[in-house]
Amino acid sequence: MDTSDSTHVDTGSFAALGIDPRIAEALQALGYEEPTPVQRAAIPSLLEGRDVLAQAATGTGKTAAFALPLLTRLGASSRARTAPGVLILVPTRELAMQVAEAVHRYGKPLGLHALAVYGGASMEQQVRALRRGVDVVVATPGRALDHIRRETLQLATLQSVVLDEADEMLDMGFAEELEAILSATPPTRQTALFSATLPPRIAGIAQRHLRNAVPVTVEREVVADGETARVRQVAYVVSRAFKMPALARVLDIEQPTSAIVFCRTRTEVDELSETLGARGLRADALHGGLSQDQRDRVMQRFRAKRVELLIATDVAARGLDVKHVSHVVNFDVPADAETYVHRIGRTGRAGREGVAITLAEPREHRLLRNIERQTGQRIEVSQVPTVADLRAHRRELLRATLREAVLAGGLEPFQGIVESLATEIDIMDLAAAAVKLVATQDDGDEPEIPGAVVREPREGSGAREGGRERGARDGREARTPRAARRDQPWSAVTLWISAGRKLGIRPGDLVGAIANEAGLDASEIGSIQIADGFSTVEVPEARAEDVIAAVKRGKVKGKKVQVRRDRRR
């Protein structure tokens, strides 16, 4: 289906695309102005009930591209539903929560409700929520299949299925789960598959499960040169567990006069503002959960410089116009270049220099490179300042403060103390002791933050085959994930799992189970080896017991397994 001829007439607004007017009105209130290219291309076909195969990178607006038309169709359906009408499959629990929140927001005017279903959360609570009835389920494949097998996720009234970030799901080892889920859905369903890349495995799924799919390919829009020229851009690579102390460390070094810290969710905004406040920083939260009066008061305090940090979501920060922002911080890497440029465009205004700081997990490194390619500007990638760096910085500030105090004068009341001690103590030792007393007040127990080194993938390495690392050794299948291809900054422990090659276990199955059930970031999982009757996997020592308990509660590839510390090591 060619949509290019009608963009100037039919696709200038969401209402013109055919989206339910109530949803379109809500989008306007949320600050959405006009559809993105992927939305203009995909929405008309999805509204017609056709299958869609879309190649679109994260952050191009693809969530709205599939959610808006499917919610419109759901709202127009006259038949009563006792089970979900739409199932959206995503690779991670974080994305499940993010997509469910967006879908709930879009569907609210129609009274449609969404539920996020993922491993690591209470199965009983999810079962109760499903029995109460929801319109849209956003799920990770493993937990979705668990509910289907328990018959707590009913698929009889399913109108549409979405595979979001399909390539990521395959990379995490969910191919068999996807096949099982799709095979269990009604044959009359509508299917939309969104993926950043379209390798042969994705094409195979599309061929088996999509019918006469409309192809959609959308590149990111190139950002004009010079839009971010006066902003120093730096990214610190840090594991998620250390993001909060890393942010505090960077803010201590940078000493922003006025900064906006962007987060993805309201919950993250509230938690971050509370934690930073407990550390003595003046921080206010700004998100869509606040009333207009509350938001106005927050902005008045920020503009008047009574608070130095504004912790905000993108939606809440739309339309912000504050001239004095010295720093913008991305607590997570923005998913697209356009969002990145809009965020950091709030600093470096009125001829001032600005600073844009991004905290990136090792697995988000490719997103940084995508943003660099789209903006044509370099983002310096650095390690989080060490405790030694912090102390050196504080002492440099102290030196400058002492110089200013001497120049300011008014030291007479203190000279008597110095004179009385100068007769018995060398004046240099006396001054050094005074400086030490002041300096040690700021030298509390600062924890060292582990480094997270990312190595760029080599061109044409060809190391992967079918999503699996090649090279078996001693009869075992070895997998070296991102975390193992860099110097591991954490102390690792090896776990033994009672399932191996004979049960069809693959590295991706273990990564998916641990990441979803234990909430451990995939980048923190180390070397995996698979033998005939068992497997071993390296995890951070600090999280080992959590992983053991979570994997015992859950399943690996639908099977209950035993897991313990490897006694052979």
- 3-class DSSP assignment, residue 30: coil
Q: Which two tokens stand for residue 219?
A: 């590149």
What average pLDDT score do residues 170-180 get?
Answer: 87
Least confident of 112-121, 206-215, 349-358: 349-358
DSSP 78: -
Residues of the chain with CATH 3.40.50.300: 4-217, 231-386
Q: Which two tokens stand for residue 427?
A: 């004046």
* Confidence grade of residue 432 (pLDDT, cut at 50, 70, 90): confident
What average pLDDT score do residues 347-361 get?
Answer: 79
User: What is d(CA 118, CA 408) in angstroms, rounded to the nearest whole number?
Assistant: 61
User: What is d(CA 2, CA 10) in angstroms, rounded to the nearest whole number?
Assistant: 13
163 touches 192 (CB < 8 A): yes
* Confidence grade of residue 444 (pLDDT, cut at 50, 70, 90): low
What average pLDDT score do residues 85-100 get?
Answer: 87
User: What is d(CA 361, CA 368) in angstroms, rounded to the nearest whole number?
Assistant: 10
CA distances from 553 to 119, 121, 138, 242, 457 (A): 10, 11, 22, 26, 35
pLDDT over threshold 60, residue 187: yes
What average pLDDT score do residues 272-279 get?
Answer: 82
13 touches 34 (CB < 8 A): yes
Angle at 448 (CA atoms; ends 443, 452), nearest 5 degrees: 145
* Confidence grade of residue 58 (pLDDT, cut at 50, 70, 90): low
**Beta-bridge partner residues of 493:** 539
Predicted pLDDT of residue 81: 63
Predicted pLDDT of residue 477: 37
pLDDT over threshold 90, residue 480: no
Amino acid of residue 215: P
- 3-class DSSP assignment, residue 381: strand
245 touches 447 (CB < 8 A): yes
Amino acid of residue 128: R
Least confident of 15-24, 76-85, 355-364, 382-391: 76-85
User: What is d(CA 206, CA 52) in angstroms, rounded to the nearest whole number?
Assistant: 9
138 touches 96 (CB < 8 A): yes
Work out the angle between the directed axes of helices 93-107 and 62-76 (0-180°, nearest 10).
Answer: 50
Predicted pLDDT of residue 11: 40
pLDDT over threshold 80, residue 311: yes
35 touches 78 (CB < 8 A): no
pLDDT over threshold 50, residue 459: no
CA distances from 141 to 93, 162, 167, 175 (A): 10, 12, 13, 9
pLDDT over threshold 50, residue 500: yes
In this prediction the pTM is 0.47
**Location of structure tokens 């999982």:** 525
CA distances from 252 to 21, 238, 275 (A): 48, 17, 14
* Confidence grade of residue 496 (pLDDT, cut at 50, 70, 90): confident
pLDDT over threshold 50, residue 465: no
Predicted pLDDT of residue 57: 67
**Location of structure tokens 């890497």:** 333
User: What is d(CA 284, CA 49) in angstroms, rounded to the nearest whole number?
Assistant: 45
Question: pLDDT (tens digit, 9 = 90+) per residue, 318-341?
Answer: 556 676 788 999 998 887 777 788
Q: Which CATH class is domain 471-565?
A: alpha beta
More confident site: 226 or 428: 428
Q: How many residues does the chain have?
A: 569
H or E element in which residue 295 lies: helix 292-303
What average pLDDT score do residues 43-56 get?
Answer: 94
Predicted pLDDT of residue 72: 94
Looking at every residue in the chain, the average pLDDT score rounds to: 78
Question: pLDDT (tens digit, 9 = 90+) per residue, 501-549?
Answer: 778 887 777 887 887 777 776 667 776 777 777 888 888 887 888 888 8
Q: What is the largest CA-CA distance in the chain?
A: 96
pLDDT over threshold 90, residue 390: no
Predicted pLDDT of residue 209: 94
Predicted pLDDT of residue 70: 96
- 3-class DSSP assignment, residue 139: strand
Backbone angles phi, psi at 193, to 5 degrees: -120, 120
What average pLDDT score do residues 73-77 get?
Answer: 85
The CATH number of 231-386 is: 3.40.50.300
335 touches 309 (CB < 8 A): no
Work out the angle between the directed axes of helices 387-408 and 427-440 (0-180°, nearest 10).
Answer: 120
CATH architecture of 4-217: 3-Layer(aba) Sandwich (3.40)
Residues of the chain with CATH 3.30.70.330: 471-565
**Location of structure tokens 């399913």:** 158
More confident site: 6 or 85: 85
First to last CA, the chain: 59
Amino acid of residue 398: L
Question: pLDDT (tens digit, 9 = 90+) per residue, 204-263?
Answer: 999 999 999 999 987 654 444 444 447 889 999 888 778 888 898 888 888 888 899 998
